[in-house]
Amino acid sequence: MSAHAVHDTVTLTGRSLRHILRSPDTIITTAVMPIAIMLMFVFVFGGAIQTDQKSGSYVDYLLPGILLITVASGVSYTALRLFNDLQSGIFERFQSMPIARSSMLWAHVVTSLVANLVSLVVVVLVSLLLGFRSAASFGEWAAVFGILTLFTLALTWVAVIPGMLAKSPDGAGAFAYPLIFLPFLSSAFVPTETMPVVLRAFAEHQPVTSIVNTIRALFAGQPVGQEIWVALAWCVAILIAAQVISLVLYRRRTR
Query: Can you spell out the DSSP letters for 31-86?
Result: HHHHHHHHHHIIIIIGGG---S-SSS-HHHHHHHHHHHHHHHHHHHHHHHHHHHHH
Residue type, position 115, single letter: A
Q: What is the pLDDT of residue 195?
A: 87
Closest alpha carbon to 111 in 85, 89, 78, 84:
78
Confidence of residue 74 (pLDDT cuts 50, 70, 90): confident
Q: How far is the C-alpha of 147 from the C-alpha of 137, rounded, in Å? A: 15
Q: What angle do CA 66, 32, 200 make, to 5 degrees?
A: 25
Residue type, position 214, single letter: T
User: Domain tally for the chain?
Assistant: 1
Q: How far is the C-alpha of 123 from the C-alpha of 100, rounded, in Å? A: 35
Does the pTM exceed 0.75?
yes
pLDDT in tens, 225-236: 889 999 999 999
pLDDT in tens, 168-222: 887 777 877 888 889 999 988 888 888 899 999 999 999 999 999 999 999 998 9
Which is more confident, 27 or 225?
Answer: 225
Q: Hey, is 137 helix, strand or coil?
A: coil
- Is residue 90 pLDDT above 90, yes or no? no
What is the domain range of residue 102? 3-254
Confidence of residue 48 (pLDDT cuts 50, 70, 90): low
Which is more confident, 52 or 13?
Answer: 13
Q: How far is the C-alpha of 159 from the C-alpha of 246, rounded, in Å? A: 9
> H-helix or E-strand containing 226?
none
Q: What is the pLDDT of residue 44?
A: 74
